[in-house]
Amino acid sequence: MSRPFELDPLFRRLTTLPGVGEKNAALFERLLGGQKVLDLLWHFPIDVIDRRFSPNINEAPNGRVATMEVRVIKHFPNARRSQPYRVKCSDNTGELNLTFFRANKGWIEKLLPEGERRVVSGKVEYYQGNPQIVHPDVVSPEERESLQTVEPIYPLTAGITNKVVRKAAIGALGFIPKLPEWLDPSYKKQQQWIEWDEALDAVHNPQSVGALDPEHPIRQRLAYDELLANQLTLGLVRQRQKKLGGRSFECPGLLREKMIEALPFSLTGAQERALSDIDTDMVAKARMLRLVQGDVGSGKTVVAALAMLRAVECGAQAAMMAPTEILARQHAESLKPLLEACGVRSIILTGRDKGKAREVLLQQIANGAAQIIIGTHAIFQDDVIYEDLGLAVIDEQHRFGVEQRLSLSSKGKGTDVLVMTATPIPRTLTLTAYGDMDVSRLDEKPPGRKPVETLLLPSEKLESMVDGLQRKISEGARVYWVCPLVEESEFSDMAAAEERYDVLKQFFGDQVGLVHGRMKAEEKDAVMAQFASGALKVLVATTVIEVGVNVPEATIMVIEHAERFGLSQLHQLRGRVGRGSDQSYCFLLYSGPLGETAKERLSVMRATEDGFIIAEKDLELRGSGDILGVKQSGALNFKIANIEVHGELLATARDDVKLILDRDPELSSERGLALKTLLYLFERDQAIQYLRSG
């Protein structure tokens, strides 16, 4: 099935609409993020101006939009260009001034001839005790109906007025087709929702401010449609993954036993539980798609390693992808002795490996000499061929879309997929971003960790803090020193870090190292390695250390301009310390007087170390937006739905989809066909491909 022809009008170019030409098409595209009629129909009004209110002049309240019939008394043209042109009008009850700035005299005279009656509309404002309207809309009394309406106000961009958008939108409304109903009839009835086409029309013709409420039934219905399409897509991806068939990794677990023996600690209950979830998935024939969510320091790496050993013991390969070179190296190095202890051969492959060296590595991957492959994106390049990839682990990746996850597992036959994230994603977000995955939570930290003591300090106190650090360092402490984000530019971040590095060298001499994003990978590694070994005591860094670095001996974290960081980012950074058994500290330095929100944010950091609470607080203080980088995955780019408001609808949509796919996995029933139309409507064409190639 290709896109149903009924939808065609919605996919026509905007230029087919009144008032949209080649000239302003680009502006429209900037405003709407697309060029289709549908993009405009998804562009909902954010306000209404009610022009139905029609008082006498003496009853018109200050600040309210009113439409009034008046007689034009006299024009007062402006003497200088900087002055306004005024027109005095009246009705039986009082006088009203109409005010025009930089207007053309001839045009105003034509619009408002002296002695004539006119209907004027606009926001009434009192100026020196008299009511006035600046730049009113004006029509003749016969045209009154055309003016006295409820006018929706759209989000705009420079160069496009509300009139132009409105005109095009009215045109677009004429393109809305009748479509088969994809909602469950009883749910629709229970919610008292109207038809899709009526709802879309109504949303563009709000009759009051109440209609703009995201919880208004009309908006709810449209939001539900979108959430349903989202959940159905994820459901189909999952269904296909499962159907493609996985393989059963059934083995006694000898390798794993060896590794557990080699570990200097015993697993936490949460780690055991996650592993048992993973084992169940891996033993089952269906393919695994599991997310392990655990706060920083909860010990995800070892869980991943133990999962990989199961694949290896069954004769398959396992690969683990980290988001950065540093992290990939660190994983490889920390796992190597453990893997060697069980006689497992591992290699590391990153973008840095080139030419002959890379050839050798690729060969080891292709002939199975490498049993465990650790690396960056490089390990999933097209020309990397695995002998037999059984398990793919993605570490710290919330920046991955559903499609990318698919391409990963297509590297092998029925490859199991395990995603590890430190991001404490609130439940509702998990559902949209990872709705296609099963979730295990590491909700328990390894024992013996002392809470990190967090201190807020004004940056003027920097020197006295440095004195304190000197003492700590002489006692063996190691310090991360994170420099501020500067204008989102990597280059100025680096400059700030270099400057701080120079200053700190005066205090700590050659015990200070520097890493920033612009350094060559080898240089970064070398510095990190020196810090890990203790040759360096202070590591000055831009946020490159944010993700996943593990140096248990580091007990002090200094973050400059902490007020510029997001809460979740601060949480991730702070999670770099407090990994050993010594007391750790986190200094949050801030500059200048802090606003209320900034103060509240920073004190949240002092109050708790619980990633979930912090994430929720973040959501609350920042509104939605780019929480935790989840937005970048595209999973949260809803056009209509707003998960903070529509969380319950989301849960319903998920359950709805489960039922649908249980009963009608091919979407071939009447409702199934309607649901396909829904998927096309939301441009989830790819999801439909999954159905076909099933």
Q: Which residue has the tokens 């950091």?
A: 605
Q: Are 345 and 371 in contact (CB under 8 A)?
A: yes
Among ligand ADP, Mg ion, none, partner that 294 touches (CB below 5 to 8 angstroms by kind): ligand ADP
- Examine residue 331 and tell whether it contacts ligand ADP (CB under 6 A): no
CA-nearest of 405, 406, 410 to 389 is 410
Report how far Cα 91 is from the mean position of its chain's Cα atoms. 55
Q: Which residues contact 606 (CB under 8 A, 6 or more apart)?
A: 454, 455, 456, 588
Angle made by CA atoms 580, 582, 583, in degrees to the nearest 5: 120
Among ligand ADP, Mg ion, none, partner that 424 touches (CB below 5 to 8 angstroms by kind): none
From residue 488 to residue 507, the character string flagging contacts with ligand ADP as x (rule: CB under 6 A) and all else as - is --------------------
Residue 447's identity, in one-letter code, is P
Q: Contact with ligand ADP (CB under 6 A): which of 299, 513, 566, 578?
A: 299
Shortest Å distance, C-beta 396 to Mg ion: 6
CA-nearest of 67, 71, 228 to 149 is 67
Rounded CA-CA distance 640/223 in Å is 5
Residue 329 tokens read as 């190296």
- Examine residue 332 and tell whether it contacts ligand ADP (CB under 6 A): no
Shortest Å distance, C-beta 391 to ligand ADP: 17
Among Mg ion, ligand ADP, none, partner that 414 touches (CB below 5 to 8 angstroms by kind): none
From residue 67 to residue 106, the character string flagging contacts with ligand ADP as x (rule: CB under 6 A) and all else as - is ----------------------------------------
Q: Are 629 and 398 in contact (CB under 8 A)?
A: yes
Contacts of Mg ion in 293-352 (CB under 5 A): 300
Shortest Å distance, C-beta 581 to ligand ADP: 10
CA-nearest of 285, 249, 292 to 270 is 292
Contacts of ligand ADP in 564-583 (CB under 6 A): 579
From residue 406 to residue 425, the character string flagging contacts with ligand ADP as x (rule: CB under 6 A) and all else as - is ----------------x---
- Examine residue 548 and tell whether it contacts Mg ion (CB under 5 A): yes
Q: Contact with ligand ADP (CB under 6 A): which of 233, 271, 376, 454?
A: 271
Q: Contact with ligand ADP (CB under 6 A): which of 234, 296, 378, 627?
A: 296
CA distances (Å), origin 564, targets 43, 197, 401, 481, 487: 32, 45, 28, 15, 10
CA-nearest of 111, 114, 85 to 100 is 85
- Examine residue 268 and tell whether it contacts ligand ADP (CB under 6 A): yes
For ligand ADP, which stretch binds (CB under 6 A), given 192-200, 265-273, 352-360, 462-470?
265-273
- Examine residue 300 and tell whether it contacts ligand ADP (CB under 6 A): yes
Q: Which residues contact 545 (CB under 8 A, 6 or more apart)?
A: 326, 480, 482, 515, 539, 573, 576
Within 10 angstroms of residue 424's Cβ, the number of other Cβ atoms is 24
Report how far Cα 665 is from the mean position of its chain's Cα atoms. 30
Shortest Å distance, C-beta 556 to Mg ion: 20
For Mg ion, which stretch binds (CB under 5 A), given 5-13, 69-77, 548-556, 605-613?
548-556
Cα torsion 178, 182, 185, 190: sign: negative
Rounded CA-CA distance 683/652 in Å is 21
Shortest Å distance, C-beta 478 to ligand ADP: 14
For Mg ion, which stretch binds (CB under 5 A), given 272-280, 484-492, 544-552, 622-630?
544-552
Q: Where are the beta strands (DSSP E) in 368-467?
A: 372-375, 389-395, 416-421, 438-442, 453-458
Q: Are 677 and 7 in contact (CB under 8 A)?
A: yes
Rounded CA-CA distance 358/309 in Å is 24
Shortest Å distance, C-beta 421 to ligand ADP: 9
Cα torsion 550, 551, 555, 556: sign: negative
Q: Contact with ligand ADP (CB under 6 A): which of 35, 298, 317, 421?
A: 298
Shortest Å distance, C-beta 579 to ligand ADP: 5
Q: Contact with ligand ADP (CB under 6 A): which of 35, 67, 97, 301?
A: 301
Q: How many residues bind ligand ADP (CB under 6 A)?
A: 18
Within 10 angstroms of residue 404's Cβ, the number of other Cβ atoms is 14
Strand order in the sheet with 416-421: 346-349, 372-375, 317-321, 389-395, 416-421, 289-294, 438-442
Contacts of ligand ADP in 425-484 (CB under 6 A): 446
- Examine residue 235 and tell whether it contacts Mg ion (CB under 5 A): no
Shortest Å distance, C-beta 364 to ligand ADP: 26
Among Mg ion, ligand ADP, none, partner that 292 touches (CB below 5 to 8 angstroms by kind): none
Shortest Å distance, C-beta 395 to ligand ADP: 7
**Nearer of residues 271 and 432 to ligand ADP, judged by Cβ:** 271
The size of the chain, in residues, is 694
Contacts of ligand ADP in 525-554 (CB under 6 A): 548, 550, 552
Alpha helix stretches (DSSP H) within 476-595? 490-508, 521-533, 567-574
Among Mg ion, ligand ADP, none, partner that 267 touches (CB below 5 to 8 angstroms by kind): ligand ADP
Q: Are 51 and 65 in contact (CB under 8 A)?
A: yes
Shortest Å distance, C-beta 5 to ligand ADP: 51
Among Mg ion, ligand ADP, none, partner that 122 touches (CB below 5 to 8 angstroms by kind): none
Contacts of ligand ADP in 276-295 (CB under 6 A): 294
What's 643's DSSP letter?
T
**Nearer of residues 211 and 541 to Mg ion, judged by Cβ:** 541
User: Kind of pairing, strands 85-90 and 389-395?
Assistant: unpaired
**Nearer of residues 183 and 292 to ligand ADP, judged by Cβ:** 292
Shortest Å distance, C-beta 447 to ligand ADP: 6
**Nearer of residues 216 and 449 to ligand ADP, judged by Cβ:** 449
For Mg ion, which stretch binds (CB under 5 A), given 159-167, 342-350, 521-529, 546-554?
546-554
Rounded CA-CA distance 479/469 in Å is 8
Q: Contact with ligand ADP (CB under 6 A): which of 235, 246, 297, 513?
A: 297
Residues that bind Mg ion (CB under 5 A): 300, 548
Binding site for ligand ADP (CB under 6 A): 265, 267-268, 271, 294, 296-302, 422, 446, 548, 550, 552, 579
